[in-house]
A and B are shown apart, each in its own frame.
Chain A
Amino acid sequence: MTTHSITVTVNGESVRRAVQARLHLIDFLRGDLGLMGSHVACEHGVCGACTVRVDGAIVRGCLVLAASLDGASVETIEGVSDRGEIRDLQDAFIARNAAQCGFCTPGMLMCAADLLGSNAQPTRAEIREHISGNYCRCTGYQAIVDAIETTALKRVSSDAGGAKP
């Protein structure tokens, strides 16, 4: 068994660990660091439950080797929640009942935040397209699309409001 020593910034904190070569990022986060917010299901890139950020870009946590991340910066749902970055999105998910069993929710939120970061006013079709790699077995997606759309509209109107003296 080969292990690698890696230093990774996780949610702003530098951590150093020895990891097995075959360990993927999601098991590293959940198993080694106890960050259970990101979920894992299919383990082969299909469901999106494991969506996290590496160096600012969303990735499948099950399709990245922890050993390859020496020097990288990782952000999980715990990090973005604690910083309040997606408070409004989370509130909208609750208001719209877009989280039922909640299994897909952390990945869905990371994916939705990614979309709103690059497209302030996505159409419903664009929202559906962007979350098309994240499976939800409960909601039927309608409520999730509603929640993301509502958040986008609120952000745009509060930006416009904030611009006034």
Chain B
Amino acid sequence: MKAPDFIYCRAESLADALRLKAEHGDQARWLAGGQSLLAALAFRLSEPTALIDISRIDALRGITFDAGVVRIGAGTTHTALGVSDIIRRHVPLLAEAVPLIAHAAIRNRGTIGGSLAFADPAAELPACCVALEATLIAVGPKGERRIAANAFFEGVYATALRDDELLTWIEIVAAQADEQQTLVELTRRSGDYAMAGVAAVLRGDAAEITHARLVFFALGDRPVAAAKAAALLVGKPLDEAQVALAATASAQEIDPAGDLNGGPEMKTHLAQVVLSRALRQIMTQAKAKAERTAA
């Protein structure tokens, strides 16, 4: 199907974007990479009167590292995120997530800001941001607002962003020396949205886990933190018994709806599978790191 008719305008700067939005009103939508929005328009799932192209705003692109904080422009493409040395070194979770998002041709245009603002419950980056306790920065006519990632996602395709606000930057505290991050998901075909996935961030050493954040995706209407399962891990060493305990506990913390892939029972089972795999992955990573340090 073809998209409905609309007005297209390209914003050259942040101020320009806000001015265009004020001019075109609440039926105008931001256009970033277009990898979700243009597909939705082709289905006529959405019929905006105007699209304001924010993909050429230089200030919204790029990744910086300063005083222990990584700052990512909302307009940074998935591809740019995946090849960034800053990301690989300080937020390895995101580098691990990128190859799992769609396909190369889509990653070349899709952006982190678009993924967060679109808030597909099965998307990787929203869950990563919640697991990393990222801060999302929005700019609107009334100025700048800082929103904690866990308060940002409000439901299926719903966020805390106001209609006239633009997501501009994502701030993430760099991984600590004793931190392990990983992401595991299950898909029917490579590049598809996940059937079940988890982003995990743990801190600690062989003797004791001191911090754990486990955030599921594709298992609820938004990223779902398995807080009880995470709490079980803290204060103890990570071993097979702990993995089993956390996986069982996590099943009580989700209430997935069935989808094209399977019913709630299957999704709950897959949640435990991905969580167990993620925790084992972290055990392997921690062991390899300890051996490197000892050598």
Contact = CB atoms under 8 A, between A and B. Distances in A.
B153 to A, nearest CB: 23
B5 A132 contact: no
B105 A59 contact: yes
Nearest to B187: A132
B266 interface: no
Interface stretch (B6-14, B57-65, B208-216): B6-14
Given A45-B35, A63-B38, A111 B190 contact: no
B76 to A, nearest CB: 14
Nearest to A56: B108
Most buried by A among B1, B4, B53, B106: B106
Interface footprint category on A: 20 to 34
Interface stretch (A17-25, A73-81, A88-96, A151-159): A17-25
B2 interface: yes
Given A44-B43, A57-B79, A63 B34 contact: yes
A129 B38 CA distance: 24
B10 A21 contact: no
Nearest to A135: B189
B105 A60 contact: yes
A146 interface: no
B41 to A, nearest CB: 8
Given A63-B34, A64-B34, A58 B5 contact: no
B7 to A, nearest CB: 5
A21 B7 contact: yes
A22 B191 contact: no
A63 B39 contact: yes
B283 interface: no
A51 interface: yes
Given A44-B42, A45-B39, A21 B6 contact: yes
B3 interface: yes
Contacts of B10: 68, 70
B5 A20 contact: yes
Interface in B91-121: 99, 102-106, 108-109
B25 to A, nearest CB: 16
B150 interface: no
B191 to A, nearest CB: 5
B7 A2 contact: yes
Nearest to A43: B42
Contacts of B79: 57
Interface in B28-51: 31, 34-35, 38-39, 41-43, 51
A1 B53 CA distance: 18
Contacts of B189: 132
A2 B5 contact: yes
Nearest to B105: A58
Contacts of A64: 34, 38, 109
Interface of A: 1-2, 4, 20-22, 24, 43-45, 48, 51, 57-60, 62-65, 67-68, 70, 111, 114, 128-130, 132-134
Interface of B: 1-8, 10, 31, 34-35, 38-39, 41-43, 51, 53, 55, 79, 99, 102-106, 108-109, 189-191
Given A45-B38, A59-B109, 20 more contacts: A1-B5, A20-B5, A21-B51, A22-B4, A22-B5, A22-B8, A22-B41, A43-B42, A44-B42, A45-B39, A58-B105, A58-B108, A60-B106, A62-B42, A63-B35, A64-B109, A65-B8, A70-B10, A132-B103, A133-B105
